[in-house]
Amino acid sequence: MKTTFTLNWKIAGQAGEGVMVISKMMAKICKRHGLQAFNYLEYPSLIKGGHQTGQVFASSKQASCQKKDLDILVTFNKNGFKEHQDEITSKTLIIYNSDAGPLDKKEYSHLTKNIVEIPFRSLTKEKTGSFNAANIAVLGASAYFLGFNLKIVRKIIRDEFAGKGEKIIKDDLLAFKAGFAFAKKLGQPLKQTPQVEDDQILLTGNEAVGLAAIAAGVQFYSAYPMTPATALLHYLASQQENYPLIVKHSEDEIGAINHALGASFAGVRAMTGSSGGGFALMAESVSFASMAEIPLVILEAQRKGPATGLPTWTEQADLSFVLTAGHGDLQRVVFTPGTVAEHFELTIKAFYLAEKYQIPVFILSDKFILESHQTMTQPELKHNHPRQNMIKSAPKDSSFRRYKATKTGVSPRSIPGQKYGLQLTNSYEHDEFGFGTEEITPTIAQVDKRTRKMDSIAKEIAQPYLVGPKEAETTFVCWGSTINVVSQLIHQQSLSKKKTVNAIHLPTMWPFPKKEFTRLAKLAKKLVMVEGNQSGQGERLISQETEVVFTDRIHRYDGRPFYAEDLQSWLEKNSK
């Protein structure tokens, strides 16, 4: 495809109207056409009512975040006009669900003149006898206006509702047809979506973490539900029938992390996850994992805090906490993946490092990317992940030392059930066998031993990298999900042949990659930190670890993600 094809579609409605399902299906349809797709969902913390949206941006080149200028806005009620004014252009087609009451189009003519009305609910009721499939009628109308391949759409409907019974699938197909036919009477299609080979998968950040955990040999996941980490619990729970895996819904977060630590001690790869509030309860156990050298992978899924905050909205304000959570001098790794694909890659690495170095490894992510669907190239199906630093057998003379002070600091580990491998995994300071000690010499020996591990770990972390052209007027620096938005901006600039911006993305925040980051930062003309918090936690870390100085910074802390359009305006305003 020479020219870039894009489509930008959004749906607004109340909780319970099927907004999320339909938005995901739209993204899936785009993927099956061979496009890149990004599906961003917004919803309040309630079960019925409220204002919910789903939006799909798809492109033949780059789709890594939601976009503002909509091609189509489907709205189940009049709220949609008001709430999304700044995303409507004169070219936007608005599809209004006329079952929500009569519409005075003149009231909205300053936004767009392209408004059509479709009575989705009554139309669906007429064809199927119930309102249930009204959202599928929306899919029908959208498929018409966007020129989708109908075979793909029908297949998606069958896939999505497989297992729910033939009657439901039949009704959905009827509703789809009715929506399509109704739309056809109202005007011409806006686009003809092209189709190329589809070699991608579509999944959320949470699902990528779960899929990677399975690829890495996870056998135990324990958690207590908390948005936006809950979907990982659900996904892994659903995979228990396919893999030798136990998922435990624990009594609380302290239980969750200690369930995982016990399982890991007994020899299975284990993981826990929560959002900031739940993770706060786990802090003491992080310290324990590091002291007792028990491998553990932890997903810390940031949402807008402090405290209960804005439970279903995004933020990047737990970095400082995750970097320091747990008392004492302790060892940890903190990964901050950006794209969904990077979540997959770094979760696999997290399991590898956790077992190899017997430490807690964090995946620090956020609501924005953990709950958004994004396409990525389908990964290899076969994964090999041999044991790391675990003994095959122990000497018969009971001389096995669980905490042997080796050169690298890594001691071989036995697991219960292994003959002669007796050991005490201990939260007290201990000698090489694991027995508690308060003596000076073994204390220093063990502290130094654990600390030494960080030297080898530093060589294995994911290094920061440059995105976009080698040279640019402005270099954005970001960690975690923000790179998705920045990459979209860089791509747009490349289309208009502007080369004003590039970016350094940090997929690891601890141990901080001083050398490589400093090298990249030195190449920049003007460094601008972009992070989703109020206080500049990432910048603070960089100042602590390097000499790098920033010219400016952009912070967002209203629960909403960054938009490429806003960064673009910032650049325009701030260029000399």
Partner 1 sequence: MSCITNKSIKSPITPTWCPGCGDFMILNALQKALVELELEEANTVIFYGIGCSGNMADFNRAYGFHGLHGRALPSAIGAKLANHKLKIIIIAGDGDFYGEGLNHFISLARGNHDVTAIIHNNSRYSLTTGQSSPTTKKGTKTKSTPTGLVEKPFNPIASALVAEASFVARGYSTKFLELIQLIKAGVSHPGFSLVDVIQLCPTFNKKENHPFFAERIYDLAAEKHDASNKMAAITKAQETEKVPLGIFYQDKESMPYHAHLSQLEKKSLVDQWSAKTNIKKAIRKFR
346 binds partner 1 (CB under 8 A): no
Distance from C-alpha of 522 to C-alpha of 548, rounded to nearest angstrom? 8
The secondary structure of residue 304, as a DSSP letter, is B
Q: Indicate the residue among 6 and 423 with the shorter CB distance to partner 1.
A: 423
507 binds partner 1 (CB under 8 A): no
- What is the amino acid identity at position 460? E
Q: In the stretch 358-397, what mask flags binding to partner 1 with x, by CB under 8 A?
A: --------------------xx-xxxxxxx----------
Among 15, 186, 237, 254, binds partner 1 (CB under 8 A): 254
Backbone angles phi, psi at 206, to 5 degrees: -55, -45
334 binds partner 1 (CB under 8 A): no
242 binds partner 1 (CB under 8 A): yes
102 binds partner 1 (CB under 8 A): no
Asked if 210 and 236 count as a contact pair (C-beta separation under 8 A), the reply is yes
CB of 242 to partner 1, least distance (A): 4
Q: Indicate the residue among 256 and 489 with the shorter CB distance to partner 1.
A: 256
In order, the DSSP letters of 261-279 are HHHHHTTSEEEEEEEHHHH
Distance from C-alpha of 434 to C-alpha of 401, rounded to nearest angstrom? 8
Question: What tokens does 326 get?
Answer: 């747990």
Beta strands in 119-245, from DSSP E residues, in sequence order:
200-204, 218-223
Whether omega before 511 lies within 30 degrees of 0, making that bond cis, reads yes
Geometric angle at alpha carbon 276, from 270 and 278, rounded to 5° = 60
The secondary structure of residue 413, as a DSSP letter, is B
Among 288, 357, 517, 570, binds partner 1 (CB under 8 A): 288
546 binds partner 1 (CB under 8 A): no
Among 5-13, 38-46, 424-432, 495-503, the segment contacting partner 1 (CB under 8 A): 424-432
465 binds partner 1 (CB under 8 A): no
Q: Indicate the residue among 45 and 219 with the shorter CB distance to partner 1.
A: 219
Among 69, 117, 284, 460, binds partner 1 (CB under 8 A): 284
434 binds partner 1 (CB under 8 A): yes
Q: What is the largest CA-CA distance in the chain?
A: 90
Q: Which residue, 152, 149, 148, 156, is CA-closest to 172?
A: 156
User: Within 13 Å of residue 24, how many CA atoms lie on the same side as its CB?
Assistant: 15
Among 158, 395, 404, 428, binds partner 1 (CB under 8 A): 428
Among 262, 277, 412, 469, binds partner 1 (CB under 8 A): 262
Q: Residues near 130 by Cβ (< 8 Å), separated by ≥ 6?
A: 124, 171
Among 99-107, 122-130, 265-273, 539-547, the segment contacting partner 1 (CB under 8 A): 265-273
258 binds partner 1 (CB under 8 A): yes
248 binds partner 1 (CB under 8 A): yes
Angle between helices 120-128 and 166-184 (to 10 degrees): 130
Distance from C-alpha of 50 to C-alpha of 71, rounded to nearest angstrom? 24
296 binds partner 1 (CB under 8 A): no
280 binds partner 1 (CB under 8 A): no
Among 134, 223, 268, 410, binds partner 1 (CB under 8 A): 268
Among 29, 123, 138, 261, binds partner 1 (CB under 8 A): 261
Q: Indicate the residue among 189 and 262 with the shorter CB distance to partner 1.
A: 262
Among 107-115, 131-139, 428-436, 516-524, the segment contacting partner 1 (CB under 8 A): 428-436
CB of 361 to partner 1, least distance (A): 18
The secondary structure of residue 374, as a DSSP letter, is E
Q: In the stretch 141-180, what mask flags binding to partner 1 with x, by CB under 8 A?
A: ----------------------------------------
Q: Indicate the residue among 147 and 379 with the shorter CB distance to partner 1.
A: 379
Question: What tokens does 542 get?
Answer: 């960089």
Asked if 143 and 176 count as a contact pair (C-beta separation under 8 A), the reply is yes
Among 389, 418, 494, 574, binds partner 1 (CB under 8 A): 418
121 binds partner 1 (CB under 8 A): no
219 binds partner 1 (CB under 8 A): yes
Q: Indicate the residue among 339 and 426 with the shorter CB distance to partner 1.
A: 426
Q: Indicate the residue among 189 and 267 with the shorter CB distance to partner 1.
A: 267
251 binds partner 1 (CB under 8 A): yes
CB of 255 to partner 1, least distance (A): 4
Q: How many residues bind partner 1, per CB under 8 A?
A: 69
Q: Which residue, 131, 26, 119, 11, is CA-closest to 74?
A: 11
Asked if 220 and 265 count as a contact pair (C-beta separation under 8 A), the reply is no
Question: What tokens does 297 get?
Answer: 């992978």
Backbone angles phi, psi at 461, to 5 degrees: -75, 170
Q: Indicate the residue among 268 and 359 with the shorter CB distance to partner 1.
A: 268
Distance from C-alpha of 211 to C-alpha of 363, rounded to nearest angstrom? 14
Distance from C-alpha of 506 to C-alpha of 493, rounded to nearest angstrom? 22
Distance from C-alpha of 29 to C-alpha of 148, rounded to nearest angstrom? 8
Radius of gyration of the chain (CA): 26
423 binds partner 1 (CB under 8 A): yes
Q: Residues near 118 by Cβ (< 8 Å), separated by ≥ 6?
A: 95, 96, 97, 98, 137, 141, 179, 182, 183, 186
CB of 417 to partner 1, least distance (A): 6
Neighbours of 207 (CB within 10 A): 23
45 binds partner 1 (CB under 8 A): no
Q: Indicate the residue among 424 and 445 with the shorter CB distance to partner 1.
A: 424
Distance of CA 50 to the CA centre of its chain: 24
CB of 235 to partner 1, least distance (A): 9
Among 1, 46, 266, 495, binds partner 1 (CB under 8 A): 266
CB of 196 to partner 1, least distance (A): 16
Asked if 300 and 326 count as a contact pair (C-beta separation under 8 A), the reply is no
Backbone angles phi, psi at 345, to 5 degrees: -60, -45
| Residues at the site binding partner 1, with contacts judged by CB under 8 A | 201-203, 207, 210-211, 214-217, 219-220, 222, 239-240, 242-246, 248, 250-252, 254-256, 258-268, 270, 284-285, 288, 292, 378-379, 381-387, 415-428, 434-436
